[in-house]
Amino acid sequence: MNSNFTPLSASELVEKISKIPKVDLAQLPTPLEFAPNISKELNINLYVKRDDCTGLAFGGNKTRHLEFIMAKTLSDNYDCILTGASSQSNFCRQAVAAANKLNLESYLVLMHGVKGKLMQGNFLLYNILGANVDVVEGEDLEQIPKHLDKKYNQLIENGKKPLLIYGGFGKEDTTLAGISYANAMVEIDLQMKEQNFLADHLFVTAANMTQAGCELGAKILGWPTRIQGVSPVYWEMDIKKDIARICNEGAKMLDINLTFTDDMINHDNNYVGKKYGAATEDGIKAMRLLANKEGIILDPVYTSKGFAALINYIEKGIIKKGEKVIFMFTGGSPAVFAYNEEITNNPSL
Ligand SMILES: Cc1ncc(COP(=O)(O)O)c(C=O)c1O
């Protein structure tokens, strides 16, 4: 029962996580950086967790996920990976880079979405990294598993042995990705102790897995911090339930007696704008503000929307003057190059 739960120390949680197979891909720990200029501007104490600095092909949160998801390739007889997302996917960029490091070929099935085959940003990087890419029509990310299954059968017929990575749509992948972010919470726990503070809020732009890992780690470590997820997409599925499910699977995998329910999850989809992958005016303003104050470049699809939410939560009084806020910068900056028009041609900016 949660009420009887005794939090674990960082080292106790590390010991549990270390039992789960992992392959080293990321440069860890990433810095937790106090941001003095934007803190002054916003009247809070803002710390940025620099997960854009995980190191693999421009970095990002997905490198942490892949350390656990791709551990299988060390023992089983795979010769390639197959995965998919949108055509400007940060996940796919990091997955192909990880596969290259592990001497595996890569196959990507990408939804056309907003940017399609535009040879810029992440799409250009798949090309440089040498992935085999199929682009399918449509925008609905929830169609990806269907396309992946079709491609998987074709690869098997051609004698390949692919590791099929469903990412956010796979039960095991989401659990492992969640575990990787419980591990990131251990890093932050130690960094907060070193820097002598405890966060009042943690903001993370998340579809599902990264927020689930933050929730899981924070609860296991007994933080009082309010975790706020900001969505980059309008889902058909009940995403709070899905996040709670990932937390529960993660707790089970770590042999920890914690239960999560959807009412424990704060997840806001008011900052998506028109649709997934479309930049927003407030997001681009937030991107410019952080770049101007701190030299940090957010991305147009995820983190700029998360940072716009953070600013709006200050305006609404949910984050109060002087409070300590961690912004989880999950990376994605290579996508800015595919969004040059939205960033520069908007007359109101
Ligand atoms: C930059 C960035 N931030 C956040 C996310 C969301 O992560 P998750 O799907 O684990 O919730 C993604 C996912 O692709 C991403 O690329």
Residues 182, 266, single domain; the answer is yes
Q: Is 70 exposed, middle or buried (0-12, 13-18, 19+ CB in 10 A)?
A: buried
Residues 46, 87, single domain; the answer is no
Q: Are 115 and 139 in contact (CB under 8 A)?
A: no
Q: Are 200 and 115 in contact (CB under 8 A)?
A: no
Residue 69: both structure tokens together: 């998801």
The Cα 113–Cα 160 span in angstroms is 28
Which residue's alpha carbon is at the smallest distance from atom 3 of ligand 1? 330
Number of domains composing the chain: 2
Among the three residues 169, 188, 221, which one is the final residue of a domain in this structure? 169
Residues 6+ apart with CB under 8 A from 54: 26, 27, 28, 30, 60, 61, 63, 64, 331
Ligand 1 neighbour 107 (Cβ under 6 A):
no
Ligand 1 neighbour 189 (Cβ under 6 A):
no
Ligand 1 neighbour 174 (Cβ under 6 A):
no
Residues 87, 211, single domain; the answer is no
Residue 31: both structure tokens together: 């810095």
Alpha helices in the chain (DSSP H): 10-17, 36-42, 61-69, 90-101, 121-129, 144-157, 171-195, 209-221, 239-253, 281-294, 303-315, 340-344
For residue 349, being part of any structural domain is answered with no
Among the three residues 150, 169, 188, which one is the final residue of a domain in this structure? 169
Q: Are 155 and 107 in contact (CB under 8 A)?
A: yes
Domain span holding position 276 = 2-60+178-344
**For every one of its 349 residues, what pLDDT tens digit does the chain have, with 9 covering 90 and above?**
466 899 999 999 999 999 999 999 999 999 999 999 999 999 999 999 999 999 999 999 999 999 999 999 988 899 999 999 999 999 999 999 999 999 999 999 999 999 999 999 999 999 999 999 999 999 888 899 999 999 999 999 999 999 999 988 899 999 999 999 999 999 999 999 999 999 999 999 999 999 999 999 999 999 999 999 999 999 988 999 999 999 999 999 999 999 999 999 999 999 999 999 999 999 999 999 999 999 999 999 999 999 999 999 999 999 999 999 999 999 999 999 999 999 998 655 5
Ligand 1 neighbour 38 (Cβ under 6 A):
no
For residue 295, being part of any structural domain is answered with yes
Residues 94, 143, single domain; the answer is yes
For residue 19, being part of any structural domain is answered with yes
Tell which atom from ligand 1 comes closest to the C-alpha of 210: 10
Among the three residues 118, 145, 169, which one is the final residue of a domain in this structure? 169
The Cα 81–Cα 52 span in angstroms is 23
CA–centroid distance, residue 159 to ligand 1 (Å): 32
Closest Cα partner for 276 from 145, 140, 75?
A: 140
Residues 84, 117, single domain; the answer is yes
Which residue's alpha carbon is at the smallest distance from atom 9 of ligand 1? 207
Tell which atom from ligand 1 comes closest to the C-alpha of 177: 10
Residues 26, 124, single domain; the answer is no
